[in-house]
Amino acid sequence: MNTHTNTVNPWTGRTVLVTGAEGFIGSTLVDLLVARGARVRAFVHYKPYAEKGHLAHHLADPDGPVEMWAGDIRDAGRVSDAVEGCDTVFHLAALIGIPYSYASPGAYVQTNVTGTENMAEACRRHGVRRLVHTSTSEVYGTALTAPIAESHPLQPQSPYSASKIGADMMALSFHHAFELPVTVVRPFNTYGPRQSARAVIPTILAQLHAGAREIRLGSLSPTRDFTYVTDTAEGFLAVAECDRALGEVVNLGTGEEISIGDLARALIAASGRDAQVVVDASRLRPTGSEVHRLLSDNSRARDWAGWTPRVSLTRGLSLTSDWIASNPDLFAPSRYQV
């Protein structure tokens, strides 16, 4: 049953909290919410300098629809203050990146698990209409069956994925124990403009636009289900209005997969450059940690929430290539971190 309504715009006049709002998906979601008429509290990690990043265009007008809230998701008091008075909360703040989780797993637990508990408790205390908690397809590990449905076993193949599994379970426990109106969304490999230079698509494109003739990668055989960022953001909004998704997990993916090797070749074509792909053993993940296949079953998002991805991979890669070519300082190869 599809409980999502497209006949009206439900976001006009709502006060909405977005955590991780300066980030790649978060800032795109803020753009979409503002376009739909919402007032947004943008919860961002405190920093002692004035750089506003991807939210700068919203903050020029102090009376505009976006209000910056600096804080730390690990600070329960600050989280509670941010949630108070909000209709809907989109919780995207997290410590991301698989390689660093090998070096500092405790930091991932503190930010991702404890931070989510802080958010769930604040939403419970202040009676929000809906909490949408952000998961990741990495929690599934290498696909045992494909496409991957939400019932697929969870496999913690890295400390990062383990922390996200813990965060998901914390959010869902508040639904079962306290009837918190929460939904877990599980994006599959979102990409597009503003993505960090550490991710595979921007780092390849940054190297190509800098004139690289060789693209050095780890394993080329793993497959991924890549979703363009505006499609992912639309999925968040659709799920937030879907009562059928309360207390449930909903995948956001295209249902199509491509190998990393074929992706690299598609990026070379999108950039219009001439380069070859080279395997670099130093970029290989530890044995047992590589996720070999991620392919989503997006039936719940389609059937329950009426969500359909609209941007093809070819079109999305072209748009992303153009963005990176226009922002060489943001996506310089030197910014890539393993």
* Residue 254 φ/ψ, nearest 5 degrees: -85, -20
Q: Where are the alpha helices (DSSP H) in the chain?
A: 24-35, 56-59, 76-83, 98-103, 105-108, 115-126, 159-178, 200-209, 229-240, 260-271, 299-305, 313-326
Residue 285 maps to a domain? no
**Structure confidence at residue 242 (pLDDT):** 98
336 is known as an active-site residue: no
**Structure confidence at residue 37 (pLDDT):** 97
**Structure confidence at residue 51 (pLDDT):** 65
**Structure confidence at residue 5 (pLDDT):** 42
Residue 159 maps to a domain? yes
pTM for the complete prediction?
Answer: 0.91
**Structure confidence at residue 9 (pLDDT):** 86
**Structure confidence at residue 197 (pLDDT):** 82
Residue 261 maps to a domain? no
Domain containing 46 — which CATH number? Answer: 3.40.50.720
Residue 206 maps to a domain? no
Spot the catalytic one: 108, 160, 191, 228: 160
**Structure confidence at residue 334 (pLDDT):** 52
Q: Tens place of pLDDT for every residue, the chain, 338 residues?
A: 344 444 478 999 999 999 999 999 999 999 999 999 999 999 999 876 656 678 988 988 888 999 999 999 999 999 999 999 999 999 999 999 888 999 999 999 999 999 999 999 999 999 999 999 999 999 999 889 999 999 999 999 999 999 999 999 999 999 999 999 999 999 999 999 999 887 889 989 998 998 999 888 878 888 999 999 999 999 999 999 999 999 999 999 999 999 999 999 999 999 999 999 887 766 666 666 667 888 999 999 999 999 999 999 999 999 999 999 998 887 654 544 44
Separation CA 64–CA 62 (nearest Å): 6
**Structure confidence at residue 189 (pLDDT):** 93
What domain count does the chain have?
A: 1
**Structure confidence at residue 70 (pLDDT):** 94
Residue 198 maps to a domain? no
Residue 177 maps to a domain? yes
Q: Would you report the helix, strand and coil content of the chain in percent, each value rounded to 5?
A: 40, 15, 40
Residue 118 maps to a domain? yes
**Structure confidence at residue 288 (pLDDT):** 65
Separation CA 25–CA 59 (nearest Å): 18
**Structure confidence at residue 62 (pLDDT):** 85
Q: Which domain holds residue 96?
A: 15-192+227-255+290-310
* Exposure string for 102-118, b = 16+ CB within 10 A, e = fewer: eeeeeebbbbbbbbbbb
Residue 210 maps to a domain? no
**Structure confidence at residue 99 (pLDDT):** 87
